[in-house]
A and B are shown apart, each in its own frame.
Chain A
């Protein structure tokens, strides 16, 4: 494992912790898109089908358990927790996320490295993860006061994707036969979706102003 990959995993982990901190201690999910969280839960459930069949490393298994457990508990919190669900911006979070599922699944059936159940589900999870942030970005645009934790959460998610690209570049030059067009292109699309957010995030940071995205 290289430093980019580790840093990417750690920022991903940090993003989840920031979100759980906000939900668990402040009992608020204001500014957080349930649609995006549901898509992430589906992403991990379909990607980690190999968790009990293929052992890679203790690190790998533990991280998979963390991402599965955290994504489903976040969805549970927003839907079921008495206080947290009250802070959910239901009227603003209107992205039709179900419409992303079918196109991603069809694309995974058509474009994959191997036509097996596990491989198609894995590819589906890549395509879905690439677009899963869209409801969250739309909600951010509609939010007048983006609180710091929400801004940091999205920033850390974007940083995680950027670091994974550096990890792929590093692996490409250090490992033989390391070519994976499907995750690379979907990962690139995923990272580009954060570009606009990053721009305004750094602007607000530079000018010491509150983060706000233009509608």
Chain B
């Protein structure tokens, strides 16, 4: 996973 893939959260 990419270090900044929190964007899949709401």
Contacts and interface: CB of A to CB of B under 8 A. Distances in A.
Given A176-B1, A177-B1, A60 B8 contact: yes
A180 B10 contact: no
Contact of B7 (A9, A56, A167): A56
Contacts of B6: 180, 183
B10 A63 contact: yes
Nearest to A183: B6
A113 B4 contact: yes
Interface residues of A, number: 23
B9 A5 contact: yes
A86 interface: no
Given A176-B1, A177-B1, A12 B7 contact: no
A85 to B, nearest CB: 29
B1 to A, nearest CB: 5
A92 B6 CA distance: 37
A180 B7 CA distance: 11
Contacts of B1: 175-178
A186 to B, nearest CB: 12
Nearest to A113: B4
Interface of B: 1-4, 6-10
21 contacts: A5-B9, A9-B10, A50-B7, A56-B8, A60-B8, A60-B10, A63-B10, A64-B10, A67-B10, A113-B4, A114-B4, A122-B7, A167-B9, A175-B1, A176-B1, A177-B3, A178-B1, A179-B3, A180-B4, A183-B6, A183-B9
Q: Which 4 A-B pairs have the closest CB atoms?
A: A177-B3, A56-B8, A180-B6, A175-B1
